[in-house]
């Protein structure tokens, strides 16, 4: 998917919502457990319920891998079910030496390899350029690089200062020098809006994937005010607050209500802060 495709979709939907498919078989409504593939049955209904209110889906790969080969099947069926219009993110936090990252890239980007065809994959920056570049060799595919994460351990290393600048800023700056950096996005935790404002001064144009609105406690208005650029530049992820809005038979309806409510708030912020 191109930058323009994504922005056009955001503009027409008036939404920059990404729905995180962190589907845990231990948490889905019990009436689905008799289905042949409960995880896919759940995802299918979640997708049907939210597809009009979001522009992106982000399966968290750990939840599928934890179920082994069966989990990979559920993931494949889910990916086939998501319409092409939606930007798909493999939240995998991969990153290894070049030839190995090349195989992870094939895993998520090359359907003739693993059967999966994501638009983007999240990548950890610790191993540097040659761990990231193989992902960018795939045309119209995106890397979403970890920059500043919202978890408690995020500060252990990401905020350590090097020549007066925290590590996450070094990651932002250095990665801009890499080939294909125009197809890079960044994971930026939403817990502190002032960080987002600061990050915007370093990378004004790139999209930020912002988790932490919802279960992790970020603030949608602040993130939008400080993070939005003239092409929106934000994908806000919500997972548990949407997909587990109810654990009864009404789970899809409740998920839809939640997604719709976020989308309606987003429409306001797009009018207000996404100024050409």
- Tell me which residues touch a second copy (CB under 8 A): 22, 24, 60, 62-63, 65-73, 76, 91, 93-98, 100-101, 103-104, 106-107, 113-116, 124-132, 146, 149-158, 160-162, 167, 170-171, 174
Our CB check for a second copy shows the closer of 20 and 29 to be 20
Rank residues 120 and 146 by Cβ distance to a second copy and give the closer one: 146
Q: How many CB atoms lie within 10 A of CB 52?
A: 12
What's the closest the beta carbon of residue 101 comes to a second copy, in angstroms?
Answer: 8
Which tokens sit at 273?
A: 């802060």
CA dihedral 88, 90, 96, 102 (to 10 degrees): -50
* Smaller CB separation from a second copy, 215 or 267: 215
Q: How far is the CB of 12 from a second copy (least distance, A)?
A: 32
- Hunting for tokens 């998920």 — which residue is that? 255
If the CB atoms of residues 14 and 128 are measured against a second copy, the closer one turns out to be: 128
In angstroms, the CA 53 to CA 123 distance is 27
Residues 6+ apart with CB under 8 A from 200: 226, 227, 229
Query: 19: part of which helix (H) or strand (E)?
Result: strand 17-21
Q: Is 217 in contact with 211 (CB distance < 8 Å)?
A: no
Task: Count other Cβ atoms within 10 Å, centred on residue 12.
Answer: 10
- Least gap, CB of 232 to a second copy (angstroms): 25
Contact in structure between 211 and 191 (CB atoms under 8 Å): no
Measured CA to CA, the distance from residue 191 to residue 207 in angstroms comes to 17
Minimum CB separation of residue 249 from a second copy in Å reads: 25
Q: Under a CB-based contact definition with an 8 Å cutoff, are residues 56 and 75 in contact?
A: no
Give the residue numbers marked as catalytic.
93
Tell the smallest beta-carbon distance from residue 52 to a second copy (Å). 28
């Amino acid at each position: 998917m191109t930058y323009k495709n994504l922005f056009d979709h955001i503009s027409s939907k008036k939404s920059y919502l990404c729905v995180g498919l962190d589907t845990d078989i231990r948490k889905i409504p019990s009436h689905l457990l008799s289905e042949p593939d409960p995880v896919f049955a759940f995802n299918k209904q979640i997708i049907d319920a939210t597809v009009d209110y979001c522009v992106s889906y982000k399966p968290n790969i750990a939840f599928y891998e934890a179920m082994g080969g069966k989990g990979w099947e559920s993931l494949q069926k889910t990916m086939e079910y998501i319409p092409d219009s939606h930007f798909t993110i493999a939240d995998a936090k991969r990153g290894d030496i070049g030839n190995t990252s090349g195989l992870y890239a094939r895993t998520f980007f090359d359907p003739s390899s693993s059967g999966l065809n994501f638009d983007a994959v999240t990548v950890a920056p610790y191993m540097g350029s040659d761990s990231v570049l193989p992902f960018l060799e795939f045309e119209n595919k995106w890397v979403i690089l970890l920059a500043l994460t919202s978890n408690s351990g995020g500060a252990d290393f990401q905020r350590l200062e090097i020549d007066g600048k925290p590590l996450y800023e070094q990651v932002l700056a250095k990665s801009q020098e890499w080939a294909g950096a125009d197809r890079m996005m960044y994971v930026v935790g939403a817990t502190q809006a002032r960080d987002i404002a600061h990050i915007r001064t370093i990378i004004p144009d790139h999209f930020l994937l912002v988790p932490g609105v919802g279960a992790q406690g970020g603030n949608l208005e602040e993130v939008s005010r400080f993070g939005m650029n003239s092409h929106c530049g934000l994908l806000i992820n919500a997972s548990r607050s949407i997909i587990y809005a109810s654990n009864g038979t009404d789970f899809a309806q409740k998920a839809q209500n939640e997604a719709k409510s976020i989308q309606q708030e987003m429409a306001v912020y797009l009018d207000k802060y996404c100024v050409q």
